[in-house]
Amino acid sequence: MSTPHDPRSLSAQEVNALHSLARRRAQELRREAIGDFWRGADAAWAASLATARRSAERLAHRLARHAQLRRDQTGVAPSACSHNGG
């Protein structure tokens, strides 16, 4: 016994039409998924760049503060303290 949703009750033309519809829908879903993936990847990349930028700025400030403390303690600029063999 076949029901309206039983593929055996469909003609070859109806089955082909359903397959075409399913393929088009699958392509639409793939396009949406790819778009969602790249939006998510872009957001993750932007967040990691922001974190890296903040870390670099904090390091630069710490290095500047360290250099200033060394100048204050020695009274000499760090570049003048380097050992060039001279």
Q: Give exposure, 22-59, as e/b (b: 16+ Cβ within 10 Å).
A: eeeeeeeeeeeeeeeeeeeeeeeeeeeeeeeeeeeeee
Residue 23 to residue 20: CA distance in whole angstroms? 5
Kindly report, residue by residue over 29-51, the tens digit of the pLDDT: 999 999 999 999 999 999 999 99
| Percent share of the chain, pLDDT over 70 | 80
CA distance 70 to 82: 13
pLDDT of residue 78: 56
Which three-class secondary structure string do you get for 31-52?
HHHHHHHHHHHHHHHHHHHHHH
Give the model's pLDDT for residue 86. Answer: 45
